[in-house]
Amino acid sequence: MNICSLKLRNFRNYDMAECVFRPNSICILEGKNAQGKTNLIESIYYLSHLRSFRTPSSSSLILENQDFFMIQAQIESHQRKEELKIVSMDHEKHLYHFNDPIRRYSDFIGIVNAVLFCPDDLMLFQQSPKIRRRFIDMELIKISKRYTSTLNHYQKMLKERNSILKREKVDPVLLETMTEQMIQDQIIILKQRVSFLEDLMEKTRAFYSYFTKEKEEVGARYQTFISMDDLETNLRNAYKKSEMRDKLYKKTHIGIHKDDIDFHMNGISVKEVASQGQKRSFVLSMKLALCQIIYEKQKEYPILLLDDVFSELDDHRCQKLISILPQKMQIFITTTGNIEPSWLKDHKAYTIQVENGHLREVKK
């Protein structure tokens, strides 16, 4: 998949910008600090995920003193051209595919498939379980329509179940119906999450051992409230056991909305043992593994966005990283200018200078 062209209006520090990108190449976005390199990456990420990776509020993406932003792009996917447009104003997003309005976000997410690495990803190991669940959900949403609809349904049923529990008199038939639907949804969600994580870790280990010299063994364990064998019976028993407590405190205490992922290195939790460089290598390996999974499932690579990837990596790891980037993948890398041209010798690469919200291709 390639993004062929991008138009921005009032997005962050871009009042009006247009740029053409080369397919299956590395695009180096070079510029001094605070010029708009990450903002550009953010606009491509937004096309893919309909949310920013830096802020939950769409209004902070609008250029100061303006009342809307627009992102427009031409995408090439499976030899087909796609035209996408997002206009965000008054806290609402208006989505268009070839100028036809799209009402459901889930019909838009995934048309552009972008995988991002940014320095804040290292917080994945530190932050709350919600962030780790969101990580796995966002990736599965992009590759499985069934996962998306089941997760949406589960969240609806969970809300319903909680509202039933809050009533003065709890209707036992309604409660059982909701619980049963949640059980069926969770069987699908749990199986997909666990198998996705296994696949992701198998590939992550291969990348990690390639671009680090050390011999650490990295992995991840999915942590849920029941054992994974005979899921249906285990789930039913768990909900039966929790019913009294749920009724007493008027909310659902168990479910996949509380699960977590334990990332580990040599069997010890990453947040306890890993150095910054090791965490960075682990996350990067995971992102490359993700690209590989997407390639296997969709027969084309996603767009890879690498924001400030080289700080804190030693030269050996930087070179290794570039050498394992697939040549058939479109990649955007932001830098203040610390990329050695020799690292890029096996790739098609070009440089776009980013200066105060203006883009200009430069010869290197």
**Which residues line the annotated binding site for ATP?**
31-38
In angstroms, give the least distance from the CB of 8 to ligand ATP.
12
Q: What are phi and psi of 173, to 5 degrees?
A: -70, -45
Strands (DSSP E) contained in 189-298 are 218-223, 260-265, 268-269
- For the segment 62-81, give every residue that binds ligand ATP (CB under 6 A): 62-64
3-class secondary structure, 167: coil
User: Segment near ligand ATP (CB under 6 A), from 28-36, 74-82, 180-188, 312-320?
Assistant: 28-36
Among positions 2, 13, 25, 113, the unique one binding ligand ATP when judged by CB under 6 A? 13
234 Ramachandran zone, left/alpha/beta (phi>0; psi -120 to 50): alpha
Residue 88 touches ligand ATP, criterion: CB under 6 A: no
Distance CA 299, CA 7 (A): 27
Total binding residues toward ligand ATP, as defined by CB under 6 A: 18
Chain position carrying tokens 């590395």: 26
Q: How far is CA 363 from CA 144, 305, 352, in A?
A: 41, 22, 9
CB of 66 to ligand ATP, least distance (A): 8
Strands, sheet with 2-11, edge to edge from the N-terminal-most edge strand? 14-20, 2-11, 68-77, 80-89, 92-97, 100-102
CB 49 to ligand ATP: min, Å = 17
With tokens 């999915």, the residue in question is: 222
Q: Closest separation between CB of residue 339 and ligand ATP, Å?
A: 13
User: Binding ligand ATP by CB under 6 A: which of 25, 38, 224, 330?
Assistant: 38
Q: Which stretch binds ligand ATP (CB under 6 A): 26-34, 298-306, 314-322, 337-345?
A: 26-34
Q: Is 336 in the site for ligand ATP (CB under 6 A)?
A: yes
Residue from the set 1, 25, 31, 306 that interacts with ligand ATP by CB under 6 A = 31
Exactly one of 33, 227, 338, 342 binds ligand ATP (CB under 6 A); that residue is 33
Residue among 48, 53, 24 at smallest CA distance from 111: 48
Q: Are 358 and 30 in contact (CB under 8 A)?
A: no
- Contact letters (x/-) for ligand ATP, 224-263, by CB under 6 A? ----------------------------------------
User: Which segments are annotated as binding site?
Assistant: 31-38
What the block records as the tokens of 87 is 């206009």
Binding residue for ligand ATP (CB under 6 A) from 5, 60, 106, 237? 60
Reading across the β-sheet that carries 218-223, which strands appear in turn? 218-223, 260-265, 268-269
Q: Could you report how far apart the first and last alpha carbons of the chain are, in Å? A: 26
Which range of residues in 29-37, 140-148, 191-199, 268-276 is near ligand ATP by CB under 6 A? Answer: 29-37
User: What is the smallest separation between the CB atom of 86 and ligand ATP, expressed in angstroms?
Assistant: 16
Amino acid at residue number 146: R
The footprint of ligand ATP on residues 305-334 (CB under 6 A) is 308, 334
Strands 14-20, 2-11: pairing is antiparallel
Q: Which of 26, 2, 22 is nearest to 331 (CA)?
A: 26
**Which residue lies nearer to ligand ATP by CB, 31 or 302?**
31
> Does the footprint of ligand ATP cover residue 35 (CB under 6 A)?
yes
The torsion region of residue 359 among left (phi > 0), alpha (psi -120 to 50) and beta comes to beta
Q: Say whether residue 25 binds ligand ATP (CB under 6 A).
A: no
Nearer to ligand ATP, 179 or 334 (CB): 334
DSSP conformational letter for 302:
-
Residue 58 binding ligand ATP, by CB under 6 A = no
DSSP character at residue 81: E
Q: Smallest distance from the beta carbon of 224 to ligand ATP, in angstroms?
A: 37
Q: Which residues bind ligand ATP (CB under 6 A)?
A: 12-13, 31, 33-39, 60, 62-64, 308, 334, 336, 354
